[in-house]
Amino acid sequence: MERIRWNDGLDQFRLTPNELRQRFCDIKADAVFAFQLRNPIHNGHSLLMQTTRQLLIDGGFQNPVLLLHPLGGWTKEDDVPLPVRMAQHQAFLNEDEDDRLDRSRTVLAIFPSPMSYAGPTEVQWHAKSRMCTGARFYIVGRDPAGLPHPSDKSKDLYDSTHGSKVLTMAPGLNELQILPFKVAAYNHVLKNMTFYDPNKHDEYDFISGTRMRKIARNGEQPPEGFMVPAGWKVLSTYYQSLGATS
């Protein structure tokens, strides 16, 4: 049997669990923490991943490595396509700014699974798959693999905390430590994405995906510090091309 190839310019990122384990070994990682996403990275994500790495260092690890593992299978039609997301993620790794990710301590690879939006059931698959790569720490966000309620879009279909709770009880996941996803928002005083402080609520601006898409489609710039310029350029170019097509 031959290896499956998509021939889409991204096959070098489709690494098997054994290949990922070897990559971590080659760069002498003593801890691997995984982060799954199906959206473009903004500086809030970057802050979370940088902070997580520092927490592991403070816990005694010498060389924690991030497995940045975006979904590469089916996602909703209004999601950013995989090639655009991968280009945007690479821009974060290549950008020479404080808000970028450390490319020497990050392994970017495609997770080939589709997103089934099955909530707490699906998140067990996501976590177990990362364990197969050698990851022992997994960042879990609010309402993982969730979606809005079909009859009331203002509500979530699944309880926002059930995904992380299930992972603490699911059989076979005892070796995986679940790391909480801290909420970050744009702080217009500091002009950057920072972890949300409810005591300073008036300083924060929660920039939704809808608003971000509108800014990008209009060829405008987001607030300073929301996203590294190279990453925003990739995203803006994509959304403006949609406008031109339509």
| Whether pTM exceeds 0.85 | yes
Classify burial at 35, counting beta carbons within 10 Å of its beta carbon; exposed 0-12, middle 13-18, buried 19 or more.
Answer: buried
Mean pLDDT, residues 103-113 taken together: 95
For residue range 139-194, list pLDDT tens digits in order: 987 767 777 788 887 788 887 777 788 888 888 888 899 887 889 999 999 999 99
What pLDDT does 104 receive? Answer: 92
Strand partners for 177: 137
Mean pLDDT, residues 201-213 taken together: 93
**DSSP 8-state symbol, 161:** T
For residue range 32-89, list pLDDT tens digits in order: 999 999 899 999 999 999 999 999 999 999 999 999 999 999 988 888 999 999 999 9
Go through the domains of the chain in sequence order and give each one's CATH number. 11-184 (3.40.50.620)
- The amino acid at 201: H
In percent, the amount of the chain with pLDDT more than 90 equals: 66
Encode 169-189 in three state secondary structure.
HCCCCCCCEEEECCCEEEECC
Residue 245 pLDDT level (bands cut at 50, 70, 90):
low
| CB of 204 closer than 8 Å to CB of 186 | yes
Interstrand relation of 148-149 and 152-156 (parallel, antiparallel or unpaired): antiparallel
What pLDDT does 95 receive? Answer: 74
What pLDDT does 240 receive? Answer: 93
What is the residue-averaged pLDDT of the chain? Answer: 91
What pLDDT does 137 receive? Answer: 97
What pLDDT does 221 receive? Answer: 96
Higher pLDDT, 21 or 210: 21
